[in-house]
Structure 1
């Protein structure tokens, strides 16, 4: 697996006696290798379809996993910081590569050459760029006491440079016989790859030199040299090559033509390709069904999940260790000390990997049970590695439903919200609105971070490829937006649904042995979150495309150059990410989105809690519209205040609940802060 040596290099000498790491004659002499990455590319990647298919699948899947930087908070929780210099470095390692580009190149170097290297460019002692190095141009130089003296790098002009170990990221697959240089999986399969390419060449040659079967021509009389040459020319012209396949053979000289069948040895040679692909797949760690696409969809799906668990995830773990060992100490110097707790860490996020979604769903179910047992949400998130940001309320344990149902019948009187006095309506709305604002602020911060990161990517894409590239970058971000919104919906629904379910449970009059629980991951809830995340992302993406298109047009009309227009794009995203003022007149886009989506999920959660309570307790439930109690409420919504309808009925404005995502009129939902109060009427 991947190894990193920096922690060994930077530890201070404790004064204890170490065994000699290299013999005296090796000290200061570069380590050489008989394996060449360039030859592996030429004779493996470019010559064998199986090698190309295996390495490409590994590189594509591993490189697109997003990476984040997390900072340790005062309460012991970890918080993502997308603006941290290390996060910027990982996403933009140099002016000509994205983080995915660099990781993809490293994967190719590792699987083909056994080693991948990156040179850190330091400014005032801090890395600002990472550049990939060709493994064939690098040689580690041993040191008898410090293990490694430096890396010798020969540039394309032939000049030799000495790079300090702490300025080089060196990833390698372990070679037990050589601690300084890695062993390529392709090296172990080299003869198999040669056999495979030879078989391909055999087939090509056979095609070019035959029609259907091989032939032997027996002339009826001895031939002179000139006649033999003429007969040979005639046979080649009429018999050889794919253009003459199944053609008619005309002979101008008397003689006999005899067909020659394919021998058993030849058949065995041709069938050997099936064996070589299996051996190549095994060496690369890719199941054959994934490499070839053969088999049922279920088998393929299982194999893909297996390769993620057995190959991709262990590699990502090792890469994370390398990043944390090499890069983190530049910003967290105490991390260099053995046993020192880190204050900064680099992590990867696999929550959006489709092949692992089934496992992720299992984790979520386990997480729900742990939270019910009293563990905090943030503790569970870190323990199970769910990949979400810690939330401000996530350090408080959930004690679960504490209201026990009555053990016998008693008199019941409906508590209709439509009959509440104004003070109670205002208090109910204020309590809901205050709690919702906390969710809005949290979501708005996450959305702002998403906008800032996307702005950098889109601006860079425009600088490289113009308007079409900028639009492509916006479209590519849709997947991440969808995963974010779906996770936000589920978290919001779980919180508000549980609270409303417990409120209705307290009103229920039904004998029951134990308190019931809100089912936060019911099929209806998961379907709603998935459906509306996709729908809202399509709206969000289209709005972003229009806004960025307008910014580009304005820049062109102002005769701005590419760099100035790219800056204009970044500034547009930065405006969307600004914090709001107190006027609520011009709310930034991040807060508008957060308010709409948090409110929509909250009111759906209330509706869903009502449905579950109705089915659980066999009660009739109605709902009452409670308008916002401030100066920003719409007049049409003010008139709705107190309107009561059945649980599945729509209000007179056509909405099932405030911020209903199925609303046909956007003016009915944008920035709405009304709520619903549900009542049991028996």
Structure 2
């Protein structure tokens, strides 16, 4: 067993209670089922087809926004990270393929969760034939699981995700496709063995040669050798000429019984594939054409692939997802090919009724957009709504997750209570007076200062490393700095720092909206993440480019003045020391304020409570005139303030203004 699996088992063991165990019969059955996969050709083909297709279908994560079932796709989340790297030994595709294989063959899947406190770091797949369910003394409660592989390991119920294809005779375990098809599979295995023996070991000769008199062993061997030399391989069309001793040559045909036995293989293939719900046309080419193949592929997806993936996803949503986040669920799009004729008809109707534009219709068929084709031909389109199927799915999960239902209800109650205070206004400040606003602004700026100081320390460390690398060269004006390498190093260093600040800032902004009710989750999708990464790329490139030009100028001036390498090097040290005192602090303050201010703005956009935002200055003589014009202005969440900025520091250096929420 790999060392990783051993360590997981050891850290997850539980004290042995007084229990009774599920019967070992299921384990023996699972062993047979798993081994049959390697013995039966058609079982291997069928299961591989399903498992590989299941593992290739992308999984999506959606956040439930309200009790109506409105959802938003999430592109960054601990669950997505877990699915993207389930453990150190398997890729996501290998993990899902093995899970699907276990589910089909044994009828059940066991995932072991590796935890670090409340978070789940990894998932490992356990062989179902090594697992036993541990019951309480009265056999009414599952109190754990045992994994036996030379050594017995015990796990708590919450550390095992057990997904099964229900077995009516034993609700604790699952039943796979192999068990009901056992007789067919065994027959196929035995038939294959018989055929191999029959044809390879020559159960009877293909030809009989009759002679007028006895032929010696030497003569027979010589005859076989000459026959093989003349008629072997691809020379079967040559004319056979025999000596006077040969009386006749007779081919020994297969008997009808033998031919029936061989034909049985076809029926065995049909039975095994039927058990897997795979149309025979997906495996055998005889009698199939394009139309039947297309329909067979559709049936294969709908009857064989989708049910397996549905079982795995349903198990995740029921047993894994709630342990990480109650407000999300996993979903996948139906992989069944779309009927293009039907799609064309629907697209035409949508365009005709003004629901989509011509360019939107063209994009559905991967055609390039046309100029002037972005207007609606009839009534204006309504705002995008949640897909009804996703909405129903979200409502179903709300019903199954009482904690989530209470949270969503609490948020709606808060919104209703806040709106009831001043029903004529839609955007009201949550602060009762200017004093409260000023106190909040001071707290925000104090937090920015603390975080900016850490960013400055990191920037100083980076500059110290840069100086060391430069001084290690001969200070040649053309090669004293590898600009691209420095840019990549800066980007690699600061991107995770600023992304972390962004995530923390967004969540803090949401947390500040609530007192008794739980806060929303701040979700960072790929669009938001790309914006932060782009900002980091911009400011790190600016730092390197500016630094390069200044240092280049100092080296050139030093050479012109005839200064020594040591003196030029000292001038570079002085520049970096001065930059640490002045420029580095401004950069750190500006970038930290930008990231946290943008995080607050994006968090308000996601919030189900916030309806708008208010700009607040610190009120001193350092405030920019254009920001004084913004002071106290309230706009909708997606709008810009009077000076054109959507949030403080969006386009300002060293800005100290603060964004406030309105409801």
TM-score computed with the length of structure 1 as normaliser: 0.46
Larger Rg: 2
TM-score computed with the length of structure 2 as normaliser: 0.47
